[in-house]
Amino acid sequence: MIPTSVHRYLKLPQIVEETVYGVTQTSAAFLDASVINSIRTTYANATEMYRKLGRRQMYKYIKMGQDVTYSMSFSPVDTALIRYGTENGNALGTLTGTIDKSLTVANSRYQNTWGANGPLIETAFLRKGSKVDSITVTTTSRGMIVVDMDLICSQIVQSQTGPNFGLTTPVWVVSPTTATPWSNLVGGCGTKLTIGGVNYPFKTASFTVNNNFDAVDVDGCDTIAWLEPGAKEVTFTAELLAQKDTAIETAMDAGNSLAASIVLNATGPKTATFTNLFINNKTEDESADETSVKTYTISGTADDVTVSV
pLDDT in tens, 235-260: 999 999 998 888 999 999 999 999 99
- Distance between first and last Cα of the chain: 46
Q: Round the average pLDDT of the chain to a whole number and report it.
A: 95
pLDDT in tens, 91-145: 999 999 999 999 999 999 998 876 666 678 899 999 999 999 999 999 999 999 9
Mean pLDDT of 51-56: 96
- Nearest alpha carbon to residue 16 among 78, 113, 84, 116: 84
Q: pTM for the full model?
A: 0.94
Q: With bands split at pLDDT 50, 70 and 90, how would you rate the model's confidence at 4? A: confident
Cβ neighbors of 87 (< 8 A, separation 6 or more) are: 95, 97, 98, 99, 306, 307
Identity of the residue numbered 298: I
Is residue 261 in some structural domain?
yes
**What pLDDT sits at residue 112?**
80
Domain count, the chain: 1
Q: Which pLDDT score, from 0 to 100, does residue 114 have?
A: 65
Q: How many CA atoms lie within 13 A of 114 on its CB side?
A: 6
Residue 266 within a domain: yes
- Would you call 8 helix, strand, or coil by DSSP? helix
pLDDT at residue 116 in the model:
66
Whether 1 is covered by a domain: the verdict is no
Task: Please determine, for residue 42, whether its predicted confidence score (pLDDT) is greater than 90.
Answer: yes
Of 81, 73, 74, 76, give the one whose Cα is nearest residue 98. Answer: 81
Distance of CA 146 to the CA centre of its chain: 10
Per residue in 146-200, pLDDT (tens digit) is 999 999 999 999 999 989 999 999 999 999 999 999 999 999 998 999 999 999 9
Cα(24)–Cα(105) distance, rounded to whole angstroms? 10
pLDDT at 77 over 80: yes
More confident residue, 1 or 251: 251
Per-residue pLDDT, 243: 86
| 117/43: higher pLDDT | 43
Q: What percent of the chain has pLDDT over 90?
A: 90
**What integer pLDDT is reported at residue 273 of this predicted model?**
98
Do residues 107 and 125 make contact, with C-beta atoms less than 8 angstroms apart?
yes
Instruction: Kindly state whether residue 49 falls inside one of the protein's structural domains.
Output: yes
d(CA 128, CA 167): 13
| Range(s) of the domain holding residue 226 | 6-307
Contacts of 301 (CB under 8 A, 6+ apart): 233, 234, 235, 236, 277, 278, 280
Q: Is residue 208 part of a domain?
A: yes
Q: Is the pLDDT of residue 277 over 70?
A: yes
